[in-house]
Structure 1
Amino acid sequence: MAQNTFRQPERIVARQKKQKRKNRLTLWINDVIGLDRLFGEDNAWPIRHIDRILWVTLLLIIYIGLNHNAERLVRRIQRSKTQVDELRAQATTLEADFMKSGKQSELSKRVSGLGLTDSLTPPHKIVVNLNEH
C-alpha cells in the first residue's frame, strides 16, 4: 500500500517555478557580465536583485528622458509666445498706419502731386420727390 503524503498548494508550486526562472535569469546575467568577479563571490546581493536594479534603472532613464522632453517643450512654447507678441505688435502698427492713410488730410497730401485739390464747397444733397420719377 502507498504511503500518504501532504500535497503542496498550487501557489507554492508556482512560486517555486517562478523562483527557478528568476534564478536562471540572474545566473545568465552573471555569466554574461561577470558580476561575481566585480562584487566578490561571497556577496551575492547584487546578483540576486539584478532584475529590480535593472527595472529601477530603466524607470530612471525614462524619467530623465521625459524631463528633457518637457523642458524642450517649455522652451519651444516660450519662443512661440515671444513670436506671437512680436507679430501682434507688428499687426497693431500696420493697422494704425492703414487707418491713418484713409483720413482725408492724408489723401489730400497724396493726390496733390497729381494736381487734384480739395473742394472748398461742401457737397450738395440731392432730393428726389416721389412724384418725379
Structure 2
Amino acid sequence: MAKNTFREPERVAKQKKQRRRLRMASWLNDFIGLDRLFGEDNSWPIRHIDRILWVTFLLVVYIGLNHNAERLVRRIQRTKTQVDELRSQYTVLQADFMKSGKQSELSKRVAEIGLSDSQNPPHKIVVKSNEH
C-alpha cells in the first residue's frame, strides 16, 4: 500500500530553491572572488549571477547570428553580381551566334575558300512518278 506523507509547504520548496541559488552564487564568489570586485556590502551582482550569465549568453548568440546574417547577405550580393555578368555574356554570345548564321555573314566567310553565291536563280527539278 501507499504510504501517506505530508506535503511540503510551498515556502519550504522556495527556501530550498533559494539555498541552491545561494550555493551556486557562493561557490562562484569563492572561485572568482566577486565580493572583492563589487564590495562585500554590495551583494546584488552575486545574487543575480545566474541571470547575468544567461543574458550574456543570449547576447553572444545574438551577435553570432547577426555576423552570420551579414556574411550571407554579402555572399548573396556577390552571387547576384556574378549571375548578372554571366547573363550579359550569354546575351552577347547568343547575338553573335545569330548574326553568324545569316547568309551575308556566311558568304563573307566562304569567299575566303573561293566559293561565292550563285548569280542565277535555282532551277526546279521535276521528277515524274513513272521515272522513279
Structure 1 length-normalised TM:
0.86
Give the drift of 1:122: 2.8
Equivalenced residues, count? 127
Percent sequence identity over matched residues?
77
Distance of 1:7 and 1:71 partners within structure 2? 54
CA gap 1:17/1:131 in 2 versus in 1, 3 angstroms: farther
Alignment partners' CA distance in 2, 1:125 and 1:107: 24
Which residue of 2 is the match for residue 104 of structure 1? 103
Q: Which sits farther off after the overlay, 95-104 or 18-27?
A: 18-27
Per-residue CA shift, 1:20-40, capped at 9, x if unaligned?
A: 211111111111111100000
Q: Deviations over 1:30-76 (max 9, x none)?
A: 11111100000000000000000010011011111111111111011
Q: 1:119 to 1:31 in 2, by over 3 A?
A: same
* 1:131 Cα deviation after fit: 5.2
RMSD: 1.8
Separation of aligned partners in 1, 2:23 and 2:77 = 51
Which amino acid in structure 1 is aligned with residue 96 of structure 2?
Answer: D
1:66-92 deviation line (CA, Å, top 9, x unaligned)? 111111110110010011000000000
Rounded Cα–Cα distance in structure 1 between residues aligned with 2:47 and 2:93? 71
CA distance in 2 between partners of 1:54 and 1:65 (Å)? 17
Q: 1:126 to 1:19 in 2, by over 3 A?
A: farther
Q: Secondary structure at the match of 1:114?
A: coil
Question: What is the rounded CA distance, in whole Å, between the counterparts of 2:12 and 2:123 in structure 1?
Answer: 108
Match of 1:3 in 2: none
Please name the residue that 2:59 is paired with.
60
Match of 1:36 in 2: 35
| Residue in 2 that maps onto 1:123 | 122
